[in-house]
Amino acid sequence: MEIFFTYESADNTQRCFAEQLALSCNIPAHLKGFDFLVDCALIYADKPLSDARLYSLVGATHGISAHSVSRDISYAINKADGLHSKLSELTGAHIPRTDIHNGFVIAVFAKLIRRNAFLNSPD
């Protein structure tokens, strides 16, 4: 099954929201993992895929391995001070620091992106 959605097909509003979300969670914007996290969250918001498939899609777009995408996201997440607190605030649920990992952060970001798109839809 081929996936035709890439982060590039997300509209500018979604991308801007995803980037602002990552910034508000103290993900350092100068790290490659910041962009990879945003890309993965945008794809996952459109079509939930396994972490491995997300990393492969984003890696192929950037000409790097899926492992490098995973590693860079993990590094960026680990550099984000108070990420668990900010995600708890945004979701309204207590999120322990030990629950923070790539797949979890991507899924939470995707859920927030979908919620924002729904709340801002013209319908």
Q: Mean pLDDT score of the chain, rounded to an integer? A: 89
Say what the pLDDT of residue 116 is.
84
pLDDT digits (tens, 9 = 90+) for 90-104: 999 999 999 999 999
Say what the pLDDT of residue 10 is.
56
pLDDT digits (tens, 9 = 90+) for 37-48: 999 999 999 999
Q: Helix crossing, 12-24 with 32-46: angle to 10°?
A: 130
Q: How do the domains of the chain map onto residue ranges?
A: 12-97+111-119
Say what the pLDDT of residue 2 is.
42
Residues of the chain with pLDDT under 70: 1-10, 118-123
CATH of domain 12-97+111-119: 1.10.10
